[in-house]
A and B are shown apart, each in its own frame.
Chain A
Amino acid sequence: MSDRTRHTDVLVIGGGMAATWAAIAAAETGARVILVDKGFVGTSGVTATGGPNHWWVSPDPVLRREAIEKRLRLSEGLGDGEWMARILDLTWRYLPSLAKHYPFGSDGKGGIYYSGVRGSEYMRALRAAALEAGATILDHHPALELLSDSEGRVTGARGHAPRLDADWRIEAGAVILATGGCAFRSGLIGSHCNTGDGYLMGVEAGAELSGMEFSIAYTLSPAWASTRTLPYFAARFYDGAGQELDIPPGRAGHVHEQALGRALMQGPVLADLSEAPLALRPILHRIQPFTPAPFARRGIDLFKERFPVWLFGEGTIRGTGGLRIADHDCRTTVAGLFAAGDAATRELVTGAASGGGSVNSAWALSSGRIAGAAAAREALERGGKAKAPSRGLGQIGLAPSSEHRDLDLKGIDRTIGGEMHDYDKALWRNRDSLTASLLKLDGIWTDIARHGHAKGRKGIALRETAALAASARWCTAAALARSETRGIQVRIDRPEADPAQAHRLLTGGLDRVWTRFEHSSLVEAAA
């Protein structure tokens, strides 16, 4: 096995926006960089099929201050103005640096339009830029577990490359988790690989999570095909009998989703886009070609005919929870381990609000660059190879505590997804339903930990299911512990904000999940 071990300064795990920006920033320092992705860098993750807009404010001090003050109000006490200023600055400086690889268009006023980019071209450009900067990209190399030395410092990762039918092992001076958020296999386009692997690997190494209660968000889409860019906002909605439904507008947020969720639990909901902006119709296919295709291929004229819709769960992708950022350089609380993008908490820049769209994208770029540069610096300062022998940190799915049994992974995935995203649970969160969900998820976790063991592709799938279970437990435990309504965490049994809970909520733990508010040392067992 040892001959398959590779050595590098920085190992980036993940293949989306944050991972590639991290690889670019790290490689620019002269450090050796290897990026491993579960899929293919360019197509994997939710960016490639989307159209990320970046939080984009010119350096005018007044405009910047106003933008930050607005986001601070939305953050409901959990945001950090200095971090917001940093990501505005980094995004403004670095997004245009992709111009060699991305065909930025006109802003219609004689300038260049930078802030909104189409995902497939953007990810193609980021791949090219990472390779040009000197990073090595290993596609189809899912990571299974982190490695650490005897002092608990993260020193690399181990995984399996199914296309090569080979295990891999990489030792590194520093490791960046940029594995994305988790949509709990909701069918959200591009999210199939977003199973929370980085959360699990991070917590196994001793890292903490923050903001996992901010994990309920949905995207409205045709029921047969998730698309993330559509003019649904002007839609009228009808039930299966043709009766118009009274749905508050999309801008109303949670009550809009509750009304749609309530209707969807009773039967099909049909959207009517006949009032969508006229100017959109002739150019939609040029803006986002993935959107009209599922209609054309069903023979549906999307602006004239009604069609069934579905709310696809976004989990922590449009939510904000993730690995806790412990310092200015995107370090986690574990030595040698950094986090970026949706794998990290975005509360610093969004607080309790969703960072959906622009802030999350600016965060992915900025936290990627920050983590990449800092990880490279740290690795180069330490110099060369890891100095101590390293061991794997994963347990669940790798080393069962009891006799092996075959598990129905697809069935388990569906059950976990239901606990997270079933409308009656997610849109009407309350103490009783969250407690029942947590009990069920704990049972799933215990089953996998006791009996789950597999190799090769099945081993990867098993670890994905374990990560889904773990992520769902952290989200649910955090939603239970935050006994109030704040931002996108809505508790119907606690409909008001509680001033005493205006703090970030941390969670972690494996067999036993814990939660605690960031300001307090009091730890509460969640079960």
Chain B
Amino acid sequence: MIALILEDRCDGCNACVATCPTDVFDATETAPIIARIDACQTCYMCELYCAKDAIYVAPDQNAAETVEYEAVLASGQLGQIRRDHGWDRPSEPGHLDPYRLLGPLLNEGAETAVRRWSVQHGGA
């Protein structure tokens, strides 16, 4: 669940307030506040839409977590999801090229499991 908004990074654009699908945030005069954490579904969309990498979502979707500012900074995770997406370069050709490999790789994994189970059960 959403765990931290880094006020020193936040520029008050309120993109997280607008884009959160479950309306977790409220705007204030400065950085938004986490107003309804029980509605957070840990979907990471606020991180994706935060241009300042000022939001950290903790990984447990079943319970709120308390995180330390320094530890979050040190984790290298701030903005990681946005960078991995290439979210800021939507028109740049090629950055979604690996996507086509998803289906074949999932199939390969499924076949691995089929073969292994067959061997374990003495089948052909």
| A353-389 contacts to B (CB < 8 Å) | none
CB distance from B3 to the nearest CB of A (A): 10
A23 to B43: give the CA distance in the assembly, Å: 25
Cβ contacts under 8 Å, A40 to chain B: 18-21
A234:B21 contact, CB within 8 angstroms: no
- Beta-carbon contact of B41 and A192 below 8 Å: yes
The answer to the question of B94 belonging to the interface, with a C-beta cut-off of 8 Å to chain A, is: yes
Is B73's beta carbon under 8 Å from chain A? no
Whether the Cβ atoms of A190 and B41 lie closer than 8 Å is yes
Known: A121-B90, A293-B77. A43 touches B45 (CB 8 A): yes
Q: Contacts A189-B43, A234-B113 given: A163-B23 contact, CB under 8 Å?
A: yes
**Which of A224, A250, A285 is within 8 Å of B59, CB to CB?**
A224
The contact size tier of chain B is 35 or more
Cross-chain contact A279 with B102 (CB below 8 angstroms): no
Q: Which of A43-86 contact B (CB under 8 A)?
A: 43-45, 48-49, 51, 53
| Cross-chain contact A297 with B23 (CB below 8 angstroms) | no
Which of B18-47 touch A at CB < 8 Å? 18-23, 38-39, 41-45
Contacts of B95 in A (CB 8 A): 103, 105
Q: Is B90 touching A103 in the complex (CB atoms < 8 A)? A: yes
Check if B74 is an interface residue, CB within 8 A of chain A.
no
Residues of B with C-beta under 8 A to A44: 21
Contacting B at CB under 8 A, from A273-322, are: 275-277, 279-280, 283, 285-290, 293-298
Contact of A43 among B21, B38, B42, B110 (CB under 8 A): B21
Closest to B92 in A: A103
Cβ contact within 8 Å between B116 and A275: yes
Interface residue SS majority, chain A: loop
How far, in angstroms, from A94 to B61 measured CA to CA in the complex? 36
CB-CB under 8 A for A225 and B59, given A275-B116, A287-B99, A287-B102: yes
Whether A105 and B109, one on each chain, are in contact in the complex, defined by CB atoms closer than 8 angstroms, is no
Contacting pair B18 A251 (CB below 8 A): no
Q: How many CB-defined contacts (below 8 Å) exist between A and B?
A: 175
State whether A277 touches B109 (Cβ < 8 A).
Answer: yes
Give which listed residue, A192, A248, A293, contacts B21 with CB less than 8 A.
A192
Cα(A235)–Cα(B45), bound, Å: 28
Contact with A along B52-82 (1 / 0, CB 8 A): 0000001111100000000000010100110
Give every chain B residue within 8 A of A101 (Cβ-Cβ): 90
Shortest A113–chain B CB gap in Å is 4
In this complex, the member of A116, A246, A249, A410 whose beta carbon has the largest number of chain B beta carbons within 10 angstroms is A249
* 18 A–B pairs (Cβ distance < 8 Å), ordered by A: A43-B21, A43-B45, A101-B90, A103-B96, A105-B93, A105-B94, A108-B100, A113-B99, A116-B99, A121-B96, A189-B42, A192-B22, A225-B60, A234-B110, A248-B117, A251-B114, A287-B101, A290-B81
> B residues within 8 Å of A by Cβ?
18-23, 38-39, 41-45, 48-49, 58-62, 75, 77, 80-81, 84-85, 87, 90-103, 105-106, 108-110, 112-114, 116-117, 120
Please list the 5 inter-chain residue pairs (A to B) with the smallest Cβ-Cβ separation, ordered nearest first: A39-B21, A289-B84, A44-B21, A234-B109, A233-B109
A residues with a Cβ closer than 8 A to B are 38-40, 42-45, 48-49, 51, 53, 101, 103-108, 113, 116-118, 120-121, 124, 139-140, 162-163, 187, 189-193, 224-226, 229, 231-236, 246, 248-251, 275-277, 279-280, 283, 285-290, 293-298, 410
